[in-house]
Amino acid sequence: MTALGELIATRIARLGAITVADYMAEAVAHPNHGYYMSGDPFGARGDFVTAPEISQMFGELIGLWCADTWQRMGGPEPVLLVELGPGRGTLMADALRAARVAPGFGAALRLHFVEISPALRARQGQTLAQSTGAARPTWHESLDQVPDGPLLLVANEFFDALPIRQFEKRPEGWCERLVTLAPDGETFAFALAPPGPQAAALLPAALRAAAPGAVAEVSAPAIAIAGEIGRRLATGGGAALIIDYGHAEPRTGATLQAVRRHAAHPVLEDPGAADLTAHVDFAMLARAATEAGARAHGPVPQGRFLEALGIGARARTLGKSATPDQASEIASALRRLTHPREMGELFKVLALAHPDLGPPAGFS
């Protein structure tokens, strides 16, 4: 058992079973042993690859989207450019390089990163330092530490890593799934709490009448952060772009998964050594933000969004000066980012904006 596993096992032995959300929070963000706290999980040598690592085209188009949205906002100065969970800083480095085409945008922006990992903060700083003219970010532990003001926010594969609670429908009602010690006392297993009305109250109304055996997932941190984004946009102006894998409407099904070295890994094995994620409920994010005063646009499939922003034309431009091998890599990246059988359909894009801003690029 990992060092974190031993800590969790001791906690369960003393205090009883914990929620899936508590287990996930410890596995991902424990200060000393959490998955994101010490290493670099991205890229071919890590555990998974995100869109910015697949091709520079992704970050470039996000940068152009930000610059265009800033112009639609009337070009406020300063404007807060915020990224939640910036990874290696690759997306932002590419975005800032592309956004230089917008006069005045570089001088107006104030860059803020929300990142809990000291190791990743160091990597992000290195990435931006190597990108000519890139602004130096101010780092924060959470969004509520970012100052108020006109906002452009990007969250790529951020919400899927936030802790979820799982609920299972039994004949007697909804029961919360818990994590407990298996009979051997050395491994973890799922268990069910007794049914109660409080479990059903946490679920979207559309799911409460699901048949026995159904599993539903709810992320309280995701709802809270979406609400905070909505409040900021409603009061200070601006827009946010949320890109992740998930579903457009509430649905049942267990999506919690673990990934290690680019392969599926048992969810309850080796906590802290494998990435834990779950599909994002975009309808729930949109509802939280709109209830806070913002307007939601989408979600739309990632492929459609990138095509609307001109990824095909950008790929052709890059291909003109590419070697045959490079041209093949560009074509492969384009397919991976946009094709429905790759990332084009499962990944979705949701825009949140001030009610007076109108549909941003890619959502009209």
Q: Which of 284, 290, 258 is nearest to 272 (CA)?
A: 258
Residue 114 has pLDDT above 90, yes or no: yes
Taking Cα atoms as reference points, which of 87, 85, 260 lies closest to residue 159?
85
Q: What rounded mean pLDDT belongs to the chain?
A: 94
- Residue 45 pLDDT grade (very low, low, confident, very high; cuts 50, 70, 90): low
Q: Does residue 247 surpass a pLDDT of 60?
A: yes
Q: What is the pLDDT of residues 296-349, one digit of tens each?
A: 999 999 999 999 999 999 999 999 999 999 999 999 999 999 999 999 999 999
**Terminal CA-CA length for the chain:** 51
CATH of the domain at 123: 3.40.50.150
Nearest one of 244, 249, 242, 167 to 203, comparing CA atoms? 167
pLDDT, tens digit (0-9, with 9 covering 90-100), for 2-28: 899 999 999 999 999 999 999 999 999
Q: If DSSP codes are grouped into helix, strand and coil, which group holds residue 287?
A: helix
16 is a domain residue? no
Lowest-confidence segment of 130-139, 153-162, 220-229 by average pLDDT: 130-139
Q: What is the pLDDT of residue 52?
A: 95
pLDDT at 133: 62
pLDDT above 70 coverage of the chain, percent: 96
pTM of the model: 0.95
Mean pLDDT for the stretch of residues 282-306:
98
Q: What percent of the chain has pLDDT over 90?
A: 87
The SS3 assignment for 77 reads coil
Amino acid symbol at 254: A
For residues 93 and 59, the answer to whether their CB atoms sit within 8 Å is yes
233 within some domain: yes
pLDDT at 36 over 70: yes
Residue 97 to residue 105: CA distance in whole angstroms: 11
Each residue's pLDDT tens digit, 135-179: 789 999 999 999 999 999 999 999 999 999 999 999 999 999 999
118 located within any domain: yes
Instruction: Tell me whether residue 345 is in a domain.
Output: yes
In a domain, 31, yes or no: no
- The confidence score (pLDDT) of residue 134 equals 62
Average pLDDT over residues 242-266: 93
Q: Identify the sign of the CA torsion 86, 88, 89, 94.
A: negative
**pLDDT at 120 (0 to 100):** 92
Q: Which of 119, 118, 115, 97 is nearest to 106 (CA)?
A: 97
51: part of which helix (H) or strand (E)? Answer: helix 51-54
210 within a domain of the structure (yes/no)? no
Element spanning 126, H or E: helix 118-130
- Give CA angle at 87 (83, 88), nearest 5°: 115
Nearest C-alpha neighbor of 253 from the set 169, 327, 312:
169
Boundaries of domain holding 132: 36-163+218-308+340-353
281 assigned to some structural domain: yes
Q: Inform me whether the pLDDT recorded for 39 exceeds 70.
A: no
Asked if pLDDT for residue 42 goes beyond 70, the answer is: no
The answer to whether residue 46 scores a pLDDT higher than 90 is: no
> How far is it, in rounded angstroms, from Cα 258 to Cα 242?
22
pLDDT confidence bin for 186, thresholds 50/70/90: confident
- DSSP state letters, 96-120: HHHHTTSTTHHHHEEEEEE---HHH
Q: How many domains does the chain have?
A: 1
Q: Is residue 302 part of a domain?
A: yes
Backbone angles phi, psi at 347, to 5 degrees: -80, 135
- The residues facing 245 across adjacent strands are 347
The one-letter amino acid at 138:
T
